Amino acid sequence: MITIAELRARHNKMSQQKLADEIGVSVDSVRRWEKDIHTISAENIVKVCRYFNVSADDLLGTNKNFSA
C-alpha cells in the first residue's frame, strides 16, 4: 500500500492544498483521506489514481490475486 502523503512527497513534496486544487476537491477531503483512506469515494479514488498514475490496488492496499 502506498499512502496519499507518500505520493505527494514523491511529487516534489506537493502540498495537500495543491493536490486538492489539481483534482477538484477540498483540502479537508485530502486531510481526511490521509487519516483514513477508507473515507474516500470511488470517484475520488479514480481521480487520485489517475493523477499519480497508480492503481487503486496500490492506493488501497488490496491484493490483486483472488482465490476462489
The pTM for the full model equals: 0.86
What integer pLDDT is reported at residue 67 of this predicted model? 56
What integer pLDDT is reported at residue 5 of this predicted model? 96
Residue 68 has pLDDT above 60, yes or no: no
Residue of higher predicted confidence among 65 and 10: 10
Q: Which of 29-33, 53-57, 58-62 has the lowest mean pLDDT?
A: 58-62
3-state DSSP helix/strand/coil percent for the chain, to nearest 5? 65, 0, 35
Place of cell 492496499: 61
| Helix, coil or strand: residue 18 | helix
Q: What is the largest CA-CA distance in the chain?
A: 42
Can you tell me the distance from the alpha carbon of 24 to that of 22, in angstroms, rounded to the nearest whole number? 6
In the chain the domains, ranked by start, together with CATH numbers, are 4-59 (1.10.260.40)
Find the mean pLDDT for residues 2-27.
97
